[in-house]
Structure formats: C-alpha cells, structure tokens
C-alpha cells in the first residue's frame, strides 16, 4: 500500500512500520519495531541474538503537516551470552531513556526561533513549557559548544549594557558584550564588567595574542583590562562615544537658559551638524549663542570635535585635535576642562581611528539586538539562558 510506504519514509531510519491508527482529531499513532539480527552488549561489546523479553515505549515525534505523531516502538531486551547482563536495544535518533525523538527536539528549536511566541510553539507541538525550555536551551548549548574552541579574532569590540535590575540593591546589573568584527557576530557575553568577571569569562578562549585591535568606549576600566589581557592589542577609542562626550553639557547648558522644553527651536539647531543647517537658521543660532556664552562654548566644542573626525588622514586629524585641546585650555567652564583632560588622556586611542577606521557601531548594533532579545522574552531570569540566546542570535 502506498500509504504504508509514505509512513515508512517518515519513520526513523532503523524502524520498520507495523501499523498505524488515528488517536485523536489531529493525532495519529504509528506502531513500529526495530529489526536487526543482533545487538551489541554495551558492557562488553559481545553481539547477542538471544531476546530476553520485549517492552513497548511511547515516543513523541516531530509533527508532520500539522499532525501530531506518536510512536509506539516495541523494543527488545537482549541477554548477553558473555557477561549475562540484560540490555535494551538502542534506537538511532532517540537518546537513551528519552521520550522525545531528536527531530522533535530540533523541531521545537526551529519553532522557538521562528514563531512569534512560545504559546504557538506549545500549540504546534502539544507539549508543556518545561519541555520547550529544556529542549530549546539544550540545542542552544550544543550549538555554542561547536563554536567554543574558535580562537580570538584579530579585531574585537567591547561594550556594556544594562541587563536586569537587582531588586535588593535597586541597581542595574551590567553585561559586557564582546563582538567579533571579522565574523560579524557576538563572541562572548559576560555578566558584570569587573576585571575579575571578564578574566573568568574569557580565559577559555584560545589565542589572545591574535587580537591586534580592540574598540572600546572611553572607560579606564576597559583600557587597563585590554592592556593586561591582550598582549598585542592596540586600543581604538570609539568614534561615536567621543563625539557624544560633550552632548550632555550642551544640553544641560541650554536647559539652564531655555528650560526643559523639548520643542524649543534651539534644541534641534544646537544638536544638528552645523554644515547641514540652513543659512538663515545658522544666523539665528549664532545670534542666540552670542547672548548665551556658556552654551556658545559647549556648542563650539561639539563642532570642533566633529571637525576632527571629518579630517582625512592621521596628520591632519592630529593637528586638528591639538588645536581643539589648545582652544579648550583657554576655557574656564568645568565640563570643558574635563573634556580637555579626557581628550589629552585618550589622544592616541582617538587618533588610532584615522589609521584603522574601526568603530564600535557594530557592537552597538549587537547591544541593541541584545535588548530586543530581552524584550521578546520579557526579561530573562537566568543569565546563562540570556547569554545563549544572544550568542546564537546570529545563526
């Protein structure tokens, strides 16, 4: 009968179709047996042909065309002629003692990746949330294991993001994301941002000496960590973090004058790139700035920073940065003094951008993605699962 042949092709490789029946509206049960001349004893590897007894097990198999499939397999138990122990024959595609076939587990994984929510996964597989979670994270762990021994790449980015709220302390927990630039994927996710946590979480990865460039934001803690951990790495200060250094000051100085109105016209004009401003807007802005010297200084610090990054070539950028530092030295405003100190301290790392052109834009994108992952799962309770999900978000 062609129907039997059809089911036979869907069956696990070693099983032989016996018969099937409808066991629910969308459920059918297939009865099958394993046919082999002998089985090998797991203890002493002696082949045995002596069947001791039989037992039937029930397995969940991957749904076929929206139909739930239950497998009833009669397994034989053999007695070993040499060591006299009794053992049950294994079935390819089912883990020992398992009640789910491996392809059922893979089907759950696929559904978790592609369905909108777990409710749909549950409906499509007719199993509990616990089974879904267990199967899904098991698959993620296996995938992560395959990549575990990949060595460090040449260029990496390091960035932090908030992970969850610590209810007792009322503070945010941080996670540090390490991004592999060449392969365009997250390399590792660490809970916390302290040196100790980073060393603990990254020591297993071989080939630290491979890393030649590390992009970071302007954080002293990451700088000293990179210098200690990667012997051949040069640090590149992230362009976007440098450009944003003065923005909070610019905003607060403006708010001191105009109040916290987000619709105030000057707010937009101040933040926009001067080169993109309309001629009349520029005149209006300059007129307004003349009356507000504190905003004036912060505004020009921002514009001069942008000028540095518009430079072509390391030499020009260096001259431009030095000119900016000199200009800042004449200013008394505290935030501008702080900016000057930061630029001086990080000058080499900032200028390295002009010889490498690497930015952390990619890390930031991954960070945003991590937040999305969190939102989709309504906040993870377990960091281990969150890590697996982020690291596998790119296939």
Shortest separation between residue 27's beta carbon and Zn ion, angstroms: 39
> Of the candidates 161, 162, 153, 140, which has an alpha carbon nearest to the alpha carbon of residue 184?
153
Shortest separation between residue 48's beta carbon and Zn ion, angstroms: 7
Nearer to Zn ion, 46 or 382 (CB): 46
Instruction: Specify whether the CB–CB gap between 87 and 39 falls below 8 A.
Output: yes
Instruction: Specify whether the CB–CB gap between 389 and 377 falls below 8 A.
Output: yes
Nearer to Zn ion, 40 or 57 (CB): 40
- What are the start-end ranges of the E strands in the chain? 15-24, 27-34, 39-40, 47-48, 51-64, 67-79, 86-88, 155-166, 171-180, 185-191, 213-216, 234-237
In the numeric block, which tokens belong to residue 149?
């021994």
Shortest separation between residue 37's beta carbon and Zn ion, angstroms: 17
CA distance 261 to 253: 13
In Å, how far are 208, 210, 296, 298 from 250, measured between CA atoms? 40, 40, 9, 5
Shortest separation between residue 36's beta carbon and Zn ion, angstroms: 17
Nearer to Zn ion, 43 or 319 (CB): 43
Nearer to Zn ion, 4 or 82 (CB): 82
Nearer to Zn ion, 20 or 48 (CB): 48
In the numeric block, which tokens belong to residue 74?
């009669």
Interacting residue ranges for Zn ion, rule: CB under 5 A = 41, 43-44, 46, 80, 82-83
CA distance 182 to 370: 19
Nearer to Zn ion, 47 or 275 (CB): 47
Instruction: Specify whether the CB–CB gap between 20 and 29 falls below 8 A.
Output: yes
> Of the candidates 191, 127, 185, which has an alpha carbon nearest to the alpha carbon of residue 157?
185
Nearer to Zn ion, 79 or 244 (CB): 79
Shortest separation between residue 49's beta carbon and Zn ion, angstroms: 13
Instruction: Specify whether the CB–CB gap between 90 and 96 falls below 8 A.
Output: yes
Shortest separation between residue 57's beta carbon and Zn ion, angstroms: 22
Dmax (CA) for the chain in angstroms is: 101
Shortest separation between residue 78's beta carbon and Zn ion, angstroms: 9
């Amino acid at each position: 009968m062609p129907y039997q042949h059809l089911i036979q092709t869907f069956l696990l490789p070693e099983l032989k179709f016996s018969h099937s029946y409808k066991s629910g509206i969308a459920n059918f049960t297939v009865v099958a047996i394993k046919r082999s001349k002998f089985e090998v004893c797991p203890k002493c590897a002696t082949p045995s042909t002596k069947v001791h007894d039989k037992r039937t097990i029930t397995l969940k198999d991957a749904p076929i065309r929206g139909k739930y499939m239950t497998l009833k397999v009669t397994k034989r138990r053999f007695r070993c002629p040499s060591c006299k122990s009794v053992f049950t024959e294994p079935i390819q595609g089912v883990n020992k003692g398992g009640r789910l076939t491996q392809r059922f587990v893979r089907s759950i994984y696929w559904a978790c990746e592609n369905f909108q929510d777990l409710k749909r996964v549950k409906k499509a597989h007719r199993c509990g949330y616990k089974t879904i979670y267990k199967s899904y994270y098991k698959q993620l762990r296996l995938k992560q294991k395959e990549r575990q021994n990949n060595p460090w790449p040449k260029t990496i980015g390091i960035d932090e993001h908030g992970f969850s709220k610590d209810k007792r302390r009322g503070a945010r927990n941080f996670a540090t994301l390490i991004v592999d630039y060449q392969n365009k994927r997250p390399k590792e996710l660490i809970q916390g941002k302290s040196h100790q946590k980073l060393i603990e979480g990254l020591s297993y990865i071989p080939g630290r000496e491979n890393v030649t460039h590390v992009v970071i934001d302007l954080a002293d803690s990451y700088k000293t960590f990179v210098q200690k951990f990667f012997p051949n790495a040069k640090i590149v200060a992230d362009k976007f973090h440098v450009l944003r250094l003065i923005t909070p000051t610019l905003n607060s100085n403006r708010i001191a004058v105009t109040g916290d109105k987000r619709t105030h016209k000057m707010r937009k004009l101040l933040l926009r790139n001067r080169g993109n401003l309309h001629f009349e807007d520029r005149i209006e802005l300059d007129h307004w700035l003349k009356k507000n010297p504190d905003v004036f200084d912060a505004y020009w610090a921002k514009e001069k920073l942008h000028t540095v990054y518009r430079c072509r070539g390391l030499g020009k950028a260096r001259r431009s940065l030095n000119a900016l530092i000199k200009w800042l030295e004449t200013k008394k405003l505290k935030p501008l003094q702080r900016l000057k100190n930061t630029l001086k301290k990080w000058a080499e790392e900032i200028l390295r951008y002009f010889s490498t052109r690497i930015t952390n834009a990619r890390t930031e994108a991954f960070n945003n993605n991590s937040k999305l992952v969190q939102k989709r799962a309504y906040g993870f309770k377990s960091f281990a699962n969150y890590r697996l999900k982020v690291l596998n978000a790119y296939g």
